[in-house]
Structure 1
Amino acid sequence: MGTALVGLASAAVGFIEKSFSATQVCINYAEGPPNGPPLLLLHGLSRDWRSFSVLLPELSHHFHVFALDLRGHGRTDRVADSYRIAEFAQDVTEFVRARFPLGAAIFGHSLGAMVTMNVAASGKCPVKAIILGDTMITPENFCRSLYAPLFRQLYELLRHTQSHAMLAAGMGKILIPVPGLNEPVRIEELPGNTSEALAEWARCALQTDPDGAFEDWAPHKTLPRISCPTLLLQGNPELDAMLSDDDVKLALRLLPNARRIQFPLLGHALFMQQPKPVLDTVIKFLSSVAN
């Protein structure tokens, strides 16, 4: 149920952007060289496939990598009022069924991890293993994280800003609480949030239209239906990571075949901050489940 058309060469060496026609949207994705079993990458909210750029060179030595733009993100089509987790997952399911009849591993970050869980739980396509990068398990714990005020302020900016430069500047001025400090700090003052990083985030955010993405999320129903090997990547909640210890405990209880790796020096961005520890963990996990 789809076609792949060769598109523009990407900035990532050896990766080519292509398109896939799903039922509701035309999906933009980047494909690497066929150097191993298939690995599908799903990005987070207000990002696109290029958020994985720092991982692509090494991953492509071990896997046949496909990195998608989710609906309403990057160069993938927008659709009116159709941004629930199940709808993101339906697009991905169609892609997996068309491209990987024998199954694929999926690595999702943030929103992409929620979509990954839904795809794996549905049983509508073959999924070999999943990796869940610092994602939301329960809305209640998300509301207590540092990311809740960030997203509220980001959406307010997006409603009133269409200029790339103005959005990047405004994002840098967003105030978020930091554990151990009496006063909130600006995003631009946090490690890794350079002007270049904020400009890239603004570019992605302006191409995003995912209203209502979390409305149908039901972890207690979804997680027990996931039977494939699962790896949880947890950053440090004190460094803005989203996945709380309580959510990890719940996930490990509900997921039949899961393990957790902690990254105490990394926040929500994980591999965008330090790619090597995440790369080593991902490659080791996928190698172990392949044997």
Structure 2
Amino acid sequence: MKEGTFKKNSLQLNYVEGPNNGSPILLLHGATKRWQSYEPIIDELISHFHLFLMDFRGHGKSQKVHGKYTLEHYVEDTKYFIKNHIKKPTILVGHSLGGMVSIMLAALHPELVKALIIIDAPLTLHSLRGLISNLKAHANQLIQGLKLSQLFPDINPFIPEHIRACDPDMLAAMVHRFEDTFKNYNIETLMEKIQCPTLLIYGNAQRGSLINYNDIEQILEIKPDLVHVQISQAGHSPIRQDKESTLKAIKEFIKSEQL
């Protein structure tokens, strides 16, 4: 795979691309993560697809943009990458924040999305708001730690590398500007607009999944053709917590939809 940057106006975003072995597939990571969060499944996908991964703004090696971390900003970056780099309808795989971005992109720009695979993205702002609220004290400490570590790189070696790469203002946007950051994530409105085949993979709420059975029932009323698979041994991170079951669900969906 090759790693590079693409420019969206003055913004530089990091991406990784594999060989052209089939239809394009773009993997979008969760908040505070980077493209490497998909490493457990890359080898299984790269031989069958033209694989792309990117670091969202404020994450990984992508540029930090103070004050510009709404869901719409991530969607616009992803739209730009598909239109100007991939240049054809793409299978989107999104975990958590990446899933939210994928849902919004598929709803607003259906011509760019061939199929949608959502991995434990919140289906209500209520569940996400609860998670953020519970983590607020820890997040505030992390924000301060990140600010210090960027001024003095050796001050706190215990902060994981993928988190040290984050813009502290990106975290602040999620914690302190939550309503503005996610204000247009209306799952009912968005799901009604999604036209492409869609798979939802989710974990066990008792193990930390952001999705529960009531969420599934409600979303099926809006999109009855949604394919949904629970990975019962996983929580919020099925890719890492039960890779084999997650890959099985992805492969079966891809085969059934002839992607």
Match of residue 164 from structure 2: 203
Match of residue 217 from structure 2: 249
Cα–Cα, structure 1 residues 115 and 152, in superposed 2: closer, same or farther, change >3 Å? same
Cα–Cα, structure 1 residues 24 and 233, in superposed 2: closer, same or farther, change >3 Å? farther
Question: 1:43–1:69: 8 Å Cα contact kept in structure 2?
Answer: yes
Q: Which segment drifts farther, 112-121 or 51-60?
A: 51-60
Match of residue 73 from structure 2: 87
Question: 2:33–2:163: 8 Å Cα contact kept in structure 1?
Answer: no
**Aligned partners of 1:202 and 1:168: how far apart in 2?**
11
Match of residue 118 from structure 1: 104
Work out the percentage of aligned pairs sharing the same amino acid: 28
**Aligned partners of 2:27 and 2:202: how far apart in 1?**
17
Q: For 1:62, what is the secondary structure of its paired residue? A: coil
Q: Deviations over 1:197-217 (max 9, x none)?
A: x73453354677251432332
Match of residue 158 from structure 1: 142
RMSD: 2.3
**Aligned partners of 1:53 and 1:203: how far apart in 2?**
19
Q: Tell me the CA shift for residue 33 of structure 1.
A: 1.6
- The structure that is helix-richer by fraction is 2
Cα–Cα, structure 1 residues 286 and 150, in superposed 2: closer, same or farther, change >3 Å? farther
Matched residue count: 247
Question: Partner letter of residue 82 of structure 2?
Answer: V
Q: Which segment drifts farther, 267-276 or 159-168?
A: 159-168
Q: Output aligned runs, 1:145-224, within 5 Å.
A: 147-149=131-133, 151-161=135-145, 162-163=148-149, 169=158, 199-205=160-166, 209-210=170-171, 211=173, 212=177, 213-224=181-192
Question: 1:18–1:30: 8 Å Cα contact kept in structure 2?
Answer: yes
**Aligned partners of 1:150 and 1:231: how far apart in 2?**
29
- Structure 2 residue aligned with 1:272, among 213, 216, 240? 240
Q: Tell me the CA shift for residue 166 of structure 1.
A: 7.2
Q: Tell me the CA shift for residue 237 of structure 1.
A: 0.6
TM-score w.r.t. the length of structure 2 is 0.86
For structure 1, which runs of at least 5 residues remain unmatched after alignment? 1-14, 170-197
TM-score w.r.t. the length of structure 1 is 0.77
Match of residue 230 from structure 2: 262
Cα–Cα, structure 1 residues 110 and 159, in superposed 2: closer, same or farther, change >3 Å? same
Q: For 2:37, what is the secondary structure of its paired residue? A: helix
Question: Partner letter of residue 86 of structure 1?
Answer: E
The yes-or-no answer on 1:237 pairing with 2:205 is yes
**Aligned partners of 1:133 and 1:75: how far apart in 2?**
23
The yes-or-no answer on 1:33 pairing with 2:1 is no
**Aligned partners of 2:155 and 2:213: how far apart in 1?**
36
Q: Deviations over 1:86-121 (max 9, x none)?
A: 111011111111234331100000000000001100
Q: Tell me the CA shift for residue 150 of structure 1.
A: 5.0
Q: Output aligned runs, 1:44-55, within 5 Å.
A: 44-55=30-41
**Aligned partners of 1:115 and 1:203: how far apart in 2?**
23
**Aligned partners of 1:75 and 1:199: how far apart in 2?**
15
Cα–Cα, structure 1 residues 240 and 73, in superposed 2: closer, same or farther, change >3 Å? same
Q: Tell me the CA shift for residue 228 of structure 1.
A: 0.5
Cα–Cα, structure 1 residues 236 and 95, in superposed 2: closer, same or farther, change >3 Å? same
Question: 1:168–1:201: 8 Å Cα contact kept in structure 2?
Answer: no
**Aligned partners of 2:3 and 2:25: how far apart in 1?**
16
For structure 2, which runs of at least 5 residues remain unmatched after alignment? none
